[in-house]
Structure 1
Amino acid sequence: MSLLFIGIAPNTGDKQSPTVWVDEEKREFVFQGWKPGPELEAECAAFEVPGHAVGIPDGEAVVRIPAHMVAMIREACDALERANVR
């Protein structure tokens, strides 16, 4: 897998680094973010969506991404759209 680095949250210091990548081959976004607290994870797990089981399936995770990274996420969307054209 080769990832296209999009960006990292600025001013996060040495121990925090929410990051955005794009996997052009698999056509997927890859996010590194903060683990949620138990309350948020429980709320997400309990959320009911028609046609889907309640809970967070094995192999999936809830992550938090700061809102100031919206521009990076848009750039990741553009990168995947460009990869689709090739």
Structure 2
Amino acid sequence: MTIRFVGIDPETDEDGCPTVWVDAEAGDLLVQSYTADEATTAECDSASPARSPKPQEETVIRIPQRMIPALRRACDELDSGVR
């Protein structure tokens, strides 16, 4: 795996904070963030096209708005084909 750090929550204390990486080999984004609460997860389940609960191996995460620039950089990096 070729994992590269892209960005961290600008309001971080650098201990358990939202972070974004790219896996250039797989072309994937990796995100560490807050687990959505049960009410949010249930609302996401009901709003999904399948209207069914998410698979057990998946989770809903909440990404703070202030992390959007880091996500854009990660997407741009993957789109540019940087390996």
- TM-score normalized with structure 2 length: 0.85
State the identity as a percent: 36
1:76 counterpart SS class: helix
Q: Give the root-mean-square deviation of aligned CA atoms.
A: 1.8
Residue 16 of structure 1, CA deviation = 3.5
4+ residue stretches of structure 1 with deviation over 2 A?
none
Residue 40 of structure 1, CA deviation = 0.5
Residue 14 of structure 1, CA deviation = 4.7
How many residues in Structure 1 have an aligned counterpart in Structure 2? Answer: 83
Partners of 2:18 and 2:33 within 8 A in 1: yes
The CA distance in 2 between the partners of 1:27 and 1:65, in whole Å, is: 20
1:60 counterpart SS class: coil
- Provide Cα deviations, 1:25-78, integer angstroms capped at 9, x if missing partner: 1111111110111110111122231xx361111221110111011111110011
- TM-score normalized with structure 1 length: 0.83
| Structure 2 gap segments, 5+ residues each | none
